[in-house]
Amino acid sequence: MVDVSSLLPTTLRLLARVLRFLPSRKDEYEVIKKYEEKLLSSSPEEHESEVSWGDVSFQGQSRMSYCLECLQKHSYKALGLAEEALSFSRSKGEITEPAREKIRKAIKELVTAEDDLGVESRDEEINERLKTIGVLMRDIRKWAWSVNLPTTQKDIAYVEEFVSRLKYLVDYVDATAELYYKKFPEEECPMCKLVDELEEFIKEKKKEQEAEKLVENTTTE
């Protein structure tokens, strides 16, 4: 998650470094004006679709963006737990109790993730994909119980199948988030983009300075 409290000092620190590369006061003014507008536009605004400030990962994050973030978090964690369970089981040749505990925790992550599906998007394609994610999660959970994976099953092949199903889920959730941000690029973290832009500016200016120094050294020699 993005720590917004640290992003502003980081941005201002980068901006100060940017100003050192500029040749005149006029250039400094133009850059300050440009980034001041971006900083102001990155501030949180009160609107109906915004999550309460204590829950968000970045300022101005919408409920839909937060929903997708939570779905990614829970699906990643479920997959990680399942992969640990598989590793434990392979070392013993069967599903061990520590592995079974990991499986139960992975199923709990799916149950929690299903609770994050109560948000509707303004885009019908995204809504359809969210419904599919819900179906995938329920199917994995019900399948796991049908083969006694959290209770008495010993065959490692079922843990491998569990991992395979979760990998498909993770890929589908990631693809949904990617599609959403392509459709609504304004939902991405504006402060994060600003930091990236400043860092890229500094990197390019350093390259220019190094090239200039190389030319000077060559001329002097």
- Predicted confidence at residue 40, as pLDDT, reads 44
Question: What pLDDT is recorded for position 20?
Answer: 52
pLDDT at 47: 36
d(CA 6, CA 50): 21
Q: CA-to-CA distance for 160 and 169, rounded, in angstroms?
A: 14
pLDDT at 41: 47
On the question of pLDDT at 115 being above 50, the answer is yes
Mean pLDDT of 97-107: 95
Q: Is 60 left (phi over 0), alpha (psi -120 to 50) or beta?
A: left
- Look at residue 216 in the predicted model and tell me its pLDDT: 73
Confidence grade of residue 46 (pLDDT, cut at 50, 70, 90): very low
Report the half-sphere exposure of 20 (CA within 13 A, side-chain side).
12
Give the residue with greater pLDDT, 49 vs 97.
Answer: 97
Four-way CATH pick for 62-187: 1.10.3470, 1.20.120, 3.30.390, 1.10.10: 1.20.120
Compare 12 and 166 and report the one with higher pLDDT.
Answer: 166
Does 174 score more than 90 pLDDT?
A: yes
Is 63 or 178 the better-scoring residue by pLDDT? 178
| 50-61 pLDDT per residue, tens | 444 446 666 667
What's the sign of the alpha-carbon dihedral 26, 32, 36, 37?
positive
pLDDT surpasses 90 at 219: no
* pLDDT on residue 18: 52
Whether the pLDDT of residue 156 is over 90: the answer is yes
Q: Where are the domains of the chain?
A: 1-61+189-221, 62-187
What are the Cα distances from residue 93, in Å, to 82, 89, 159? 16, 6, 12
- Would you state the pLDDT for residue 186? 64
Confidence of residue 123 (pLDDT cuts 50, 70, 90): confident
pLDDT recorded at residue 62: 78
pLDDT band of residue 122 (cuts 50, 70, 90) is confident
- Compare 52 and 65 and report the one with higher pLDDT: 65
Percentage of the chain with pLDDT > 70? 64
Instruction: Give the chain's mean pLDDT.
Output: 77
